Chains A and B, each alone.
Chain A
């Protein structure tokens, strides 16, 4: 054990500044400390700014040595003791841990507190995630640097008197003086620890310095805050550490998760509402039986509740409502009463004697249960009293009296429920028959809507016979297969003000200068907004408003494509062309993304002669060139954000 240590491998503490905390014996320290503090940032910069090879000026180097000589110790055992006591001690329970990560895990698991830096360390060497144990795990660059400074700052001849005390200040160092080969007598006293600094790495410790390119690499390669000063070469960006989440790395950031069925439309009936009806018979039954005779004052509410009741083990979806619908407001008045009297509520299955689910027994969400509390009912009752007939109020007030006689109320309620159940049985039978009818009706409605939409388009076409744009509208509309109107449920954005950039970005924003306008158009302001719509009703509104509006029927996929195109910075012109093409080619049912990709990869695709060149040029000319370059576009982060960012300028607010 008493082997002599080599001079250069005297153990030192990588966590600098440690001794400022405990070097209290000789006190020119105050001065020294303030001096040091003044230099800390500077020194730190010098040390770690990457220009490490250029040594700092002599004086600073000496200070560096002082500060960052990083306190040398007799042997590694003492160093480890020091580290445990000064750097790896839990500030809460004072338990001494062995490494930074160990400390942080301890704090996290035992105290549920995150610790973000090593205690008593300089900010640039405080990374808690670096695993340093004694001399193990010190980054080799730092080791070299230390060595360099040690040799450089202490060249054997005392260069000046002033840094002598500084160098000697650390206690153990003081014992040894500058005699490098001195035998540390006390070192052998501690058993169990090999004093050799080059000792083999402990199991589970970081690799030996100098072996791996990332010695002392903690398990997390990211370490964002410490990044600049970490002496390791390449580190992945913190958010995408190497090897992290291998399953997901291949994911494109964007739109389509690799779901096999994603782009395949599910098999479904032709008409959306019919589809909905068919898909969820339960729900549609509820809607079909919407004319349940109970609770006339609360039609929409009771309809669902009673419809649901006819189907199976009902739970009133909103008991306060449903009981109100039963013309019994007991729940609103006394919750417990309602609960005990309510037979229909399904209960949460209990799990056994050894465990208990902390949840009210009813199988309702906590919110639904909480919403029944009287304090949340107040205004509801008021409103219903006001909005519904006075009868409701009467019922309520009667009930408040009845609440005194709870027995009576329970009986009454039960009686009503029985009645209700009987009726529901009948309804249920009816309901089955009605489902088919509903599907048919829905079908009919769709046809009507669709006819209305076409009508609107035609009307509008008559009303606004215009140069190229107006010509386009009917053309595109005509190219649209009739069934597609019904196939695509109107999704969103019934109106999209798209083409005229002024409208996209809000009315008053800076506009690109009007250039290349077609002969029919006088100035940009005159370019009427082009409205893409899925909804014929809104078309009519627009037209009644008498604006110069060009309306293009648009559907889900087109909307998506538009969004994507905007996101991909495809110019307005191109967007329009794509849209036009879409109509003409009637490829709506393909996936939006693939279409878009095709458009982008193969522009020829866009140029198939379907419209006359003149018409296209008219379209293009009507759009100010360079619209895509508009700052609002460039800044826009995602699909179709223009008007959203400046809502007050949106037509809706004007």
Chain B
């Protein structure tokens, strides 16, 4: 049993009650599971013939899924690569002392945060096809990356801003006191310290980017993972349920790998930073001892 401040250590009666709850819960979940299983089975959705291609042959993986996943990762990678520096730029821009920089940065960030990525992608695709010479085979990729960059750069800008603002004012004061210029303060003092605080938020944003590439498959002809369902199910007798399940699993595995890698990285960074003694994560609780550590930026699923 974990020690939580929210409930007392459990006595015999509480333990019994918990067992009762557990049993109820298990029964409820099992009932739902059983209903789903039998109904699917009744509709022949669990027939081996519908699932067999994924397990007995490498062909669906080589022909449809792997190229799809590659495109998904490629789009996500480029989007992140461009969005990160852009986001940092706008985030710092919003903290600028000059109105002339602060206001436009704010307007751009708020504008692109307010529009659905789907609409950004559709617009980018149509605009590229009408006004540019980008070759047709890479145009969907460009459109997807553009949509993702515009949107995610503005989200990352907010993350960077929040990360820098979370640092104690003393850091800036101290940097000023030893005669650092504003740029130097940002580069040598504020940014490096806020990276650890920002990391979890950045990682959930990466997951958002990976998931959002699926929009490109749904509405543009971007041949990413989700789009591979169509040719695949057309070949294997409309086994759509099986195809979508496999694809959902791949997304879960990929995103889980990303989050795991990031938390490993975060632990490493935190260990390395111990000596600098940065104060982080006290949140709105101020100096009080709170129930847990509050994250800097809360993931809001601001995308698909």
**Co-complex (A, B):** no
